[in-house]
């Protein structure tokens, strides 16, 4: 009976969809090589359901992998900016040519980027909890200015 997925008596359907009078007869025919388990319609439906669940799980894992790559990229950007500012700060301090205001500006930008990284990670964790998305208004000019600021310092450090 195991070969056609009918292990306990309560689960037997004896629907006859396979052409045999009951699950027991089909199981005997399968064991004798006269029939296939796929002749049992409830068995096929259960296998289909199991396969569908496996496919959905695989899709979830694929999506999670893609999301993890995206998150890693998004977190890496602000961290790279912080790294650039720390290198620039160290270079300027070593050269003794760093005004206090400029140092404070660099520190503020590093703080901003680290806060952004923390927010990205928090958003990723919140997404895992399946809470509804929250939209907010952003100023695209500010986003572009911050990106250009990061690129400018990177270029300066690399003598570009």
Angstrom distance (rounded) from CA 22 to CA 156: 80
**pLDDT of amino acid 12:** 53
pLDDT, position 151: 62
**Which residue range forms the structural domain that includes residue 84?**
61-157
pTM for the full predicted model: 0.40
Number of domains in the chain: 2
For residue 83, is it within any domain?
yes
**Domain identity same for 18 and 97:** no
What's the burial of 142, exposed, middle or buried (CB within 10 Å: 0-12/13-18/19+)? exposed
Q: Please check whether residues 22 and 65 belong to one and the same domain.
A: no
How many whole angstroms separate alpha carbon 154 and alpha carbon 158? 6
Assign residue 153 the CATH number of its domain. Answer: 1.10.287
Structure confidence by residue, pLDDT tens digits, 55-97: 888 888 788 778 777 777 778 888 888 888 888 888 888 888 8
Residue 56 lies in a domain: no
Residue recorded with tokens 């199991």: 50
User: Which DSSP symbol is given to 160?
Assistant: -
């Amino acid at each position: 009976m195991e070969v056609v997925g009918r292990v306990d008596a309560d689960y037997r359907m004896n629907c006859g969809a396979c052409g045999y009078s009951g699950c027991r007869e089909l199981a005997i025919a399968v064991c004798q090589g006269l029939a296939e388990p796929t002749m049992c319609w409830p068995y096929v439906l259960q296998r289909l359901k199991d396969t569908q669940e496996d496919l959905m799980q695989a899709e979830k894992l694929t999506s999670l992998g893609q999301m993890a790559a995206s998150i890693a990229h998004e977190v890496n950007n602000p961290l790279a900016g912080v790294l650039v500012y720390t290198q620039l700060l160290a270079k300027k301090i070593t050269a003794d040519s760093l005004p206090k205001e400029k140092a404070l500006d660099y520190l503020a930008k590093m703080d901003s980027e680290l806060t952004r990284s923390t927010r990205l990670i928090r958003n990723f964790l919140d997404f895992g909890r399946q809470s509804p998305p929250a939209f907010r208004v952003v100023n695209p000019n500010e986003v572009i200015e911050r990106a250009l600021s990061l690129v400018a310092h990177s270029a300066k450090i690399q003598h570009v």
